Amino acid sequence: MNVNNLTDLYTDFLLISPGQTTATGLSTLMDNNISHDKITRLLSSSAISSQTLWQMTKPMCHEIKCKDAVLIFDDSVEEKKYTDSNELISWHFDHTQGRSVKGVNFMTALYYSNDISLPVGVDFVKKTKAFIDKKGRLVYKSEKSKNQMFREMLWQASYNMDFKYVLTDTWFSSVENMNFVCKKCSRHFIMAIKENRKVALSKENKAKGLYVSIKSLGLEESVMSVYFEQLDFPVVISKQVFKNEDGSTGRLYLASSDLNLSYEQITTIYKKRWKVEQYHKSIKSNAAFAKSPTKTVQTQVSHFIASIMAYVKLERLKVRNNQNHFALKNRMFVQATKAAYQELQKLSTPHLAFN
């Protein structure tokens, strides 16, 4: 079996396995016709990479492309508290839990068009650079920042595919990134920005260094053209007010380089960023992202990317069967439970010698 077929088999295994996804488990599933060593060698090689992921999604991206396609960037942390620490499995701050957790921190470029979400690039935070912190402790950090990952993946995507807007949260809303999106990649952005961000209300005020906080502007379901420091073109900003699940009121400030967008258009387009949260949830819940006992950095990276490739398979099945990822998984497990029940009945049937 060649590498591509073995990768295809492994990603299928990630979708159907109810527990830990081990090389031995896959070998057993195949009646030992494929040795567990062959699977381990696959994960230990560089055969599964971000480039492999792109080759898988490339045909679909071209098929679903439209003029309003967006590219969404976000990172996520998945806890792996029982796995030995290394440069990949380390301590990262998880904003969803408000604390640092031991696990993997990865970033994805997600292409969204015609109600289909496809990961087209992925990178991992690897803490390989040692330094002494303020308390005199030896700690490690990544030599490449998430903003660098963002720019690298965006540049690659802008060369390979069509999309109109880049959507990000506040983490990636630096002036450097805004300039990169518009000037280097010739795209527009819609980015969340913090309420204490300073803006000038005119080009003249910018020249004079007269800046105010966007929180003081009293934006209410409208847009305003402003200037950021160190950005030589204007942007439009808006404020979206919404209700949280706990009944509290939330505020979201957005900035866009497309001056032709209305408030309704900005908020509608930015809502598509939620697709990356659905993607994170699905790979963790449906594609065995954290269910591999792999030990080395290479085998761990290979497994994580294979899990994302398994997500792509679910996205294809979603379109074909008109069911979401969780419904598809439930459908598979119902059939598996029925097969297990039938096997139990066979095992429970008394033999004549014991009647």
* Segment 124-182, tens digit of pLDDT: 999 998 888 888 887 888 999 999 999 999 999 999 999 999 999 999 999 999 999 99
Q: How confident is the model at residue 111, as a pLDDT? A: 98
pLDDT band at 221 (very low <50, low <70, confident <90, very high): confident
pLDDT band at 351 (very low <50, low <70, confident <90, very high): low
- Backbone phi, psi, residue 39, to 5°: -70, -40
Q: Which domains does the chain have, with CATH numbers?
A: 48-286 (3.90.350.10)
- Exposure string of 205-244, with b = 16+ CB inside 10 Å and e = fewer, is ebeeeebeebeebebeeebbebbbeebeebbbbbbbeeee
Answer yes or no: are the C-beta atoms of 150 and 177 closer than 8 Å.
yes
Percent of the chain exceeding pLDDT 90 equals: 82
Across all residues in the chain, what is the average pLDDT? 93
Q: How confident is the model at residue 130, as a pLDDT? A: 84
Which pTM was predicted? Answer: 0.93
Our separate counts of H helices and E strands in the chain read 11, 13
Tens digit of pLDDT for each residue in 284-319?
999 999 999 999 999 999 999 999 999 999 999 999
Q: How confident is the model at residue 240, as a pLDDT? A: 87
Answer yes or no: are the C-beta atoms of 330 and 285 closer than 8 Å.
no
Tens digit of pLDDT for each residue in 247-284?
777 789 999 999 999 999 999 999 999 999 999 999 99
What are the DSSP calls for 48-100, one per residue?
A: SSHHHHHHHHHHHHHHH--TT-EEEEEEEEEE-TTSPP-SSSEEEEETTTTEE
Residue 39 has pLDDT above 60, yes or no: yes
Tens digit of pLDDT for each residue in 183-214?
999 999 999 999 999 999 999 999 999 999 99
